Structures are given as C-alpha cells and as structure tokens.
Chains A and B, each alone.
Chain A
C-alpha cells in the first residue's frame, strides 16, 4: 500500500545530495536500516519508483528522512534533489527489508562501514542507538571522496561528543583535509585493522556502499578474522538509483 508523505524540510548535505524530511501521518514505524520505495507520477499517469534508505531513527513524530544522491543520468534522483519543494506530497511504500537492520536489543559491538552515500542506513542505526539509549559500542568507518562529500557532519560530531562509546574514522579516497595522517586512497587492510573492532570481539558488521567498495571492505574484514555470518551488506550497483 502506498502512503502519502508531505515534505516538511529539505536540507542539502553536499552539492549533490539532499535530505528530505517527510511527515507521514500513517507511518507504521520502522527499524534502522530499512528502506522505502518512492513513487513519482507524471501528469499523464507515467510513474517511476526507486528505493531509498531511511536515514532517520524510528520516532514518535511520524517523520521519515531520506537522503538522496543526485545521479547524473538518474530519472528520479534529479527530481528529488532539485525540483521537490517543501509542501509537496510524495508517495512511499514501506518500510521494506528485514535483514540489513540494527535493533536496540543488540548489545554486541557494531562495526559500520560506509562508502559515500552508503552512510544513510548506517546513520539511521547510529541515530537509533542514541534515541533508544543503547550502550552498544559502535564504530563507523566512513569513506568519502573528499571532505565536502561527508553527509550528516554536524550530527555525527554531536553524537560523537556526547558518547565515547561511538567511534568514527573518516577515510578519503581523492582529497584529504590538510595534515590528515593518511594519504588519500581506497580503504586497505591497514585501515581496516586500525579503524575497526578486533574480530575477537565478534562485532556485527554492516557494510553499505557501491559494489566494488563493499566487495573490498568485506574481503578485508574476512581476512582479519570476521566470520561471514557476522557481515551484512547492502550494495548499490552501477545503475545505482538505490540510496
């Protein structure tokens, strides 16, 4: 069934990504990590649907936040990041997916690894941890092209300052900030060893990003002793309208 959400806020995360806050009066609630289908309909009835991860924690206000990265040849993402205005109504279906999720009952260490806009569902987990008062130890390894490509920067900093059970390591692939200790480059075994939980703590790992990023992150996690059944992945591929 399709629900109707009203856009109540828009926030540019980066030059190409925007967070859309929707008020969805009949929202049934969600679990951090789930996604929704969004449907756009043209005046002649033609419609297009894409999936986007929910970036917000479950909340009592019936608010759902989606962060959409604009894809150069996308059909739906240019509309959502450039045309959509506060007050517009959007149709959505969901929440969907019961695998790539974090629930507040989980007390084990959590390792999050994000590539680019793959941060969105992981941010929902971090926010959900904070809003439920969970004390599960979290670490996030967040790989971005350049400093300007970071989503949720202030929110992440606030959550970090408030709780020393959440750790964050940025990794830059193209351009790093001045004096950054690690030269720009893709994630590698040394970075995984430095920035993730030791595998003997048996963390549950959530890895989200482009396919090639996820494949290599998972290979490094496995090589450092993490069991495959503790690694959950969400990939978005070359066509990639996912996220």
Chain B
C-alpha cells in the first residue's frame, strides 16, 4: 500500500462490477490520438494482409462489407485509466479475415491510415478475440473514433485497438509498434496492469 494521502477518501465505484486494477468507470467515450484524425474516403479504403514481402489478402471497402459480420458487446480499458463497459459494435472477425491465410508466422503488426502501428501476438487476434469494426452503437464509426474502420482487441489496453486500421503485416518475431516504442508495454494486458515498458 502506498503513502496515505491525508484527508483523501476517494470515490469508490458503487456499481457491482470488477474492473482491471487502477481503472475507473466512465460513461463517456474519450478520444486519444497522437496526431490528426485522418479522413479516409471509402473509395480509397483498403485492408491488406501481408507477410512483409507478399500481399496475402486484400479487400476494398465493397468487398470488405460483403464479408460476414458480427455484432458484439465488450468492455474496453484505456491505459489512461478509464474503462467503458458494455460497448456494442459491428465488425468483421479477424477469424474471417485470416481464414484463408496459411502461415507459420506468430506476430502481427497492425497498420493504420496516419501511419500508426501496434503489435500483437497472432494468437491474440484469432479465436473470436478481435474484429475490424465499422459500427459503434448501431451507427457508422465516427472518424475521431477510428472510422471508417478500426481494430478492436478488447482484452488488451485500448491503444492496441488501432483506429483507421488499413492492414496487418505478419512477422516471425515480435517488434514494438508506435506506443510500444515510446514507453508503453509490449503486450498490454489490463488485468495484469501492463501499462508501461518495465511493468511485469
């Protein structure tokens, strides 16, 4: 336990929910981005899977939207300590996107419009754990929240859920993405409070 803050009582959550350590509940949807919000037109949008050398799969918006979609409700946890529960989305599962990809590569680097990147082990985005989402709360995803489409990996801190996602490069070894190179944790499990590099 830390040093007691004289006169601090705090405001405990009254809701009967369990949050990851160090998180607090919000009902807002705060926006955090490192740079300008890219405005990506749908006729130029594409999502590409490659292995660093070859393009393995590619969809334009029309082809992407013809893929089977899922609606799902998940909790999200931002490294800046807010958590938002029961958010509902519609998107295409990574299981669908990766279905015809045969690979022995174990890591993934997601890439976004605006040049953001984030790294994730491939095993964390398969088996119903990750989606490319294009609707939030039944409406088209707003640009400041990552529209036209963003990655969603709710079991990791939300910076892993890359906004404006445009593809993924499969890799043999893990490599840090944007925030992971700038002091944030390489994996980012909120339940183990892996916020910053050096956290166990």
Contacts and interface: CB of A to CB of B under 8 A. Distances in A.
A42 B10 contact: yes
A18 interface: no
Given A236-B30, A240-B30, A42 B8 contact: yes
A39 B24 CA distance: 13
Contacts of A179: none
A51 interface: yes
Interface in A149-205: none
A235 B2 contact: no
A37 to B, nearest CB: 8
Instruction: Give the bracket for the number of chain B residues in contact with chain A.
Output: 35 or more
Given A4-B3, A96-B196, A238 B24 contact: no
A224 interface: no
B22 interface: yes
Instruction: Give the bracket for the number of chain A residues in contact with chain B.
Output: 35 or more
Given A237-B28, A238-B30, A42 B144 contact: no
8 contacts: A40-B8, A40-B10, A47-B1, A49-B22, A75-B11, A211-B30, A215-B144, A240-B30
Q: 5 shortest A-B CB distances, which residue pairs?
A: A237-B30, A98-B182, A238-B28, A40-B5, A41-B2
Interface of A: 2, 4, 39-43, 45-51, 75, 79, 83, 85, 88-91, 93, 96-100, 211, 215, 218-219, 221-222, 228-229, 231-233, 235-242
